[in-house]
Chains A and B, each alone.
Chain A
């Protein structure tokens, strides 16, 4: 803790010769990264070092187990052996039909299913970050890490920027609609590997696209560290659906920073599914910058044993006539903990805003803990805002009803929890996606039963 710079095996000595370290890490993958990029990484490293580690007295980290943020054991990720790589590819099962897939393991690009000829001709770009920054430098640079992390993890955003070496760049030109979802996989493989998955989605005016990302570990009990950033830029009138299905190993420490900018008359929907991880922090920010912008922020977390989920959100209404709706549902078993800290901020002059925020916690065991901090800051007039937070347990009557019909208690509980969480999943526009997420949730329940 006291020495957060011991993040990676190639950690700086007393006086960090940052340049050497960074290039050392980057050359490992035989990449030829552009100079502007490595310069930016160096600057980010300096920034990381200058920022303090979060403390529990910081409002943005209240109730969070900041002691879990010990980065000392983690080392830079290396490419997988060929056999391991093949195994990972086999296990990368997602949607049956996609418009394209990218698969990464330990921050190294493994394979992809390319876009169709038609989409490529239309100008859609869906490629690994390290290629995009060379082939589409101007476009990439304009949006890469362009928004500051404001929900508490500025230090980790700097860490991410300093070490990011792989990820996804998705660009959809004006008016192009990508019908089938795009899909990516990020795997954690080696023991104590640190990865920095980056996703940048730029959807131009009136375009439409869906991206689902899977975060998984090859071994359920191997420790690892994931520090990801995903930025979604939704142009005027565009529609973007983003899903992040997180199922890291039960010893993984993860921080995911999401930033969504929603333009005029645009619609953004993002859903974060939290299944795995030991300590998982999600920071999600929706910035509504154009009139008529609409943002749905959804999340489901299922906690078991000593898992901790920490979610911080901001619905930032910077323009009048904007709409945002947040719904987070959490089911907590064992000794698991969840912290939700959310804020609706209606900027001055963002009149005629509608903003909603709802958190529902279902406590399934006596040792589970739920902390909710739903916040509002309203600086405008003619605003409709509400927020609600509840914590409760399974309804005895509902349970009794199912038991009376001969359904075993464990199945009945699962059905009721499934029903509780379903309200969130149903908000997705595509039944195929709902089915996929339900399948992942069922897998988690099956693991618990074993």
Chain B
């Protein structure tokens, strides 16, 4: 996996830190400069958005890690959280405020968490949520290629997950193979929050993007999807557009990112 891309990360780091050695934070990897091709874009959007090198968690945040967070931050405990920041289902699978119980194993990805809670967790760790561009760029990597969009086998494996319903018991994190960057479980485990989930100004619903609802958006107007064969990308796009920040869902978790 040693490659040009990985070297870029190291070089970018060295430049940033004034050639001082700077270790990658524990349990994160460096994803290097690249481009994200938005699925939809307007006349004024670029075809490719450049993404600067950043760190990303290797696996989604687990129940165990989230428990540590709520222990230290009581306002994010199930009985304490304010309704505007998380809906009624927040952490509903836990046995109690500070008890995981049998339905939430320590190494399973935490789910039933809102965007606000995910954001607060990240901040507490000195991290942040990844952007759509960062997440999608990283998730485009197959086990062997930084850009796995043309890797037929990889695409088929992803589609398989999207076409099956979530298992009753979520697998533990690290259950999936590492991709080119060393990141795991971007596909096949849970959906993940991103910082700018509320940035899709095309609803993805053809009825909503023409005619009546045009007044809803300013300066949007898509010129069509970029990669019409990328069904999983449509799924993610549609899923994110349907979210509200206080929502909590049985198969929606998150992982954190960090600037270099």
Physical interaction between A and B: no
A residues apposed to B, CB below 8 Å? none
